[in-house]
Amino acid sequence: MKKLRVLALMHDYMVPPDDISGHDLATVKWKTEFDVASTLEDLGHDVRKLGVKDDLGLIRQAIDDFKPHIAFNLMEAFHEVGVFDMNVVSYLELLRLPYTGCNPRGMLLSRDKALSKKLMAYHRIRVPDFTVFKRGLAIKRPRRLEFPVIVKSLTQEASIGISQASVVEDDEKLRERVKFIHHSVGTDAIAERFIDGRELYVGVAGNERLQVFPIWEINLSKLPDGAHRIATDRVKWNVEYQKKHEIKTNAATDLTTVLSEQIQRVAKRVYRALEMSGYARMDFRLDSEGNFFVMEANANPQLAFGEDFSESAERAGISYDDLLQRILNFGLRWQPERPG
């Protein structure tokens, strides 16, 4: 294996300290950054961590000084604006520096939940009915969109703005929740038909030749009676809440072989329809009748050791070390000029 100079791009407040003594590495906010950087170093690569906030000049300077073979992209925003993350990758392309993860086009198409659903519907991939409520315009539900619906941010990820109150059953509650997204999250809102059932995740990796990982599931069976089985902000990020309600993710082992293969095939179709590359995670809902719906596609999902994506890769026989090396290889092989 060739030793690479890897420029690890991360948010300035997520750079792991040089001295990690006294830190619980299982719960630190910079766990992903530490896991990735330390594992790449263990693989023999020369890694330079660069914290970025709002200055692209830092990236250009680091490239001139360090002369990396590739950038490992761990940025989820730029200047704290989520939809700007693709512009960082575009900048790397203009500098002709290979990078890990999804290309700008795939990031753009997948981040916008409405645009991605329109593309999936065109490719006859089943998605729930939905509508978009833009900020500053009247909140009026189209008749075709039946209750219950779930209201989310159109572009934010990581369950930001999602709570039990996100599932609404009448127009008054719908207006209240849309206004909450507009004012508190600061984005347009998408309301989609709520699919009551199980939440499944499918990891996909590669550029042209794709590998689909085993289907993963978030277990929400111990939530309080009457609670909707959805991945809220607290479900995903509140450790105490997770412990209290025994929230875990694990392989979805009770699906039939036929259903599993159908879901995995659709995950690959979504990846290609949205022109993604590198690695991604597809989110599905499975109802009680065995019908599954694509909810969204997530470019560059969490890569921490022990998270859903790396755990599903492990179940497919790919160790964490091997997973990161494969992601590097995908980045080195990606040719951004091909779509042009």
d(CA 176, CA 171): 9
Beta bridge partners of 279: 205
More confident residue, 220 or 199: 199
Whether 340 shows a pLDDT value over 60: the answer reads no
Residues of the chain with CATH 3.40.50: 5-99
Residues of the chain within CATH 3.30.1490 domain(s) are 129-193
pLDDT at 221: 83
pLDDT at position 158 over 70: no
Q: Is residue 283 a contact partner of residue 201, using CB atoms and an 8 Å limit?
A: yes
pLDDT of residue 54: 92
Question: In degrees rounded to 5, what are phi and psi of residue 257?
Answer: -60, -40
Q: pLDDT value at position 339?
A: 63
| Residue 100 structure tokens | 């890990």
- Give the pLDDT confidence score for residue 226 in this predicted structure: 84
Stretch 214-233: mean pLDDT: 88
Global pTM reads 0.93
Start-end of CATH 3.30.470.20 domains in the chain:
196-333
CATH class of 129-193: alpha beta
- Exposure string of 61-82, with b = 16+ CB inside 10 Å and e = fewer, is ebbeeeebbbbbbbbbbbeeeb
**Maximum Cα–Cα distance across the chain:** 60
Element spanning 70, H or E = strand 70-73
Tens of pLDDT along 20-56?
988 988 889 999 999 999 999 999 999 999 999 999 9
- Beta-bridge partner residues of 46: 5
Judge whether residue 168 has pLDDT over 90: yes
What is the per-residue DSSP string for 159-226?
TTT--GGGEE-SHHHHHHHHHHIIIII-S-EEEEE---EEEEEEEEEESSSEEEPPPEEEE-TTSPTT
Q: What is the DSSP letter of 13?
A: G
Does the pLDDT value for residue 171 go beyond 70? Answer: yes
Q: How far apart are CA 313 and CA 72, in angstroms?
A: 19
How far apart, in whole angstroms, are the C-alpha atoms of residue 252 and residue 292? 14
Tens digits of residue pLDDT in 233-285: 888 777 788 888 888 889 998 999 999 999 999 999 999 999 999 999 999 99
User: 286-326, pLDDT tens digit by residue?
Assistant: 999 999 999 999 999 999 999 999 999 999 999 999 999 99
User: What is the average pLDDT score of the chain?
Assistant: 94
Say if residue 9's pLDDT is above 80. yes
192: Cβ–Cβ under 8 A, 6 or more apart, which residues?
113, 117, 127, 128, 129, 130, 131, 149, 150, 152, 295
- Superfamily, domain 196-333: ATP-grasp fold, B domain (3.30.470.20)
pLDDT of residue 230: 87
**Phi, psi (rounded to 5 degrees) for 149:** -130, 160
In this predicted structure, the answer to whether residue 105 has a pLDDT above a threshold of 90 is yes
Task: Tell me which fold the domain 5-99 belongs to.
Answer: Rossmann fold (3.40.50)
Report percent pLDDT > 90 for the chain. Answer: 80
What is the mean pLDDT of the segment spanning 86-90?
96
Both structure tokens of 244? 């209290």
Which DSSP symbol is given to 146?
Answer: P
Strands 197-206 and 70-73: unpaired
